[in-house]
Amino acid sequence: MTKFMLLMNMDGGNSDTPMLEWDEADMKAHMNHLGEGIERLRKSGELVEVQGLTWPSHAKVVRAASVTAPVLTDGPYAESKEVLAGYTMIDVESEERAYEIAAWQSAAPGPGGVPLEQPIEVRRVMESDADLHDF
């Protein structure tokens, strides 16, 4: 088994309307779709962890300051589509299975039930020092 992290950004996919402005029924359908997929992963034993993250306005960026206390700033100030919204950690038999799960997440419905086709970044978790050299 190999662990992968599926990263979901605040990129709206096919919708320019922020999720908080969707009709309640559309938002519920979206969350139900994702919830059903998570429940299937839980039952199959492939789910390691799933988490949504708070809004970027709650984030802080910390940088070490060589002699003084760490420097703490508000942020990040990336474009909203580049801000991490949440992640799903899975442990699956193959990279292809990770892609299949990511495609399911990407197909979550948006406004009017249209699949968002939101991009999901699939990253394999490093298993050894050898992975540092695997570009």
To the nearest 10°, the Cα dihedral for 80, 105, 58, 83? -30
Q: What is the number of other CB atoms lying within 10 angstroms of the CB of residue 115?
A: 13
Whether the per-residue pLDDT at 123 is higher than 60: the answer is yes
> Cα dist. 79→48, 63, 93 in Å?
29, 21, 34
Residues 6 or more apart whose CB falls under 8 angstroms from that of 17 comprise 110, 111
Give me the phi and psi of 133, to 5 degrees please: -105, 0
DSSP letter at 115? B
- Residue ranges of domains in the chain: 2-52+78-128
Nearest of 35, 28, 51 to residue 104 by alpha carbon: 35
Q: Is 63 buried (19+), middle (13-18) or exposed (0-12) by CB count in 10 A? A: exposed
Under 8 Å between Cβ of 104 and 32: no
Give me the pLDDT at residue 62, please. Answer: 86
Q: What is the pLDDT of residues 68-88, one digit of tens each?
A: 778 777 766 655 557 889 999
pLDDT band for position 127 (cuts 50, 70, 90)? confident
What fold is seen in the domain 2-52+78-128? Alpha-Beta Plaits (3.30.70)
Nearest of 108, 109, 55 to residue 86 by alpha carbon: 55
Give me the pLDDT at residue 80, please. Answer: 53
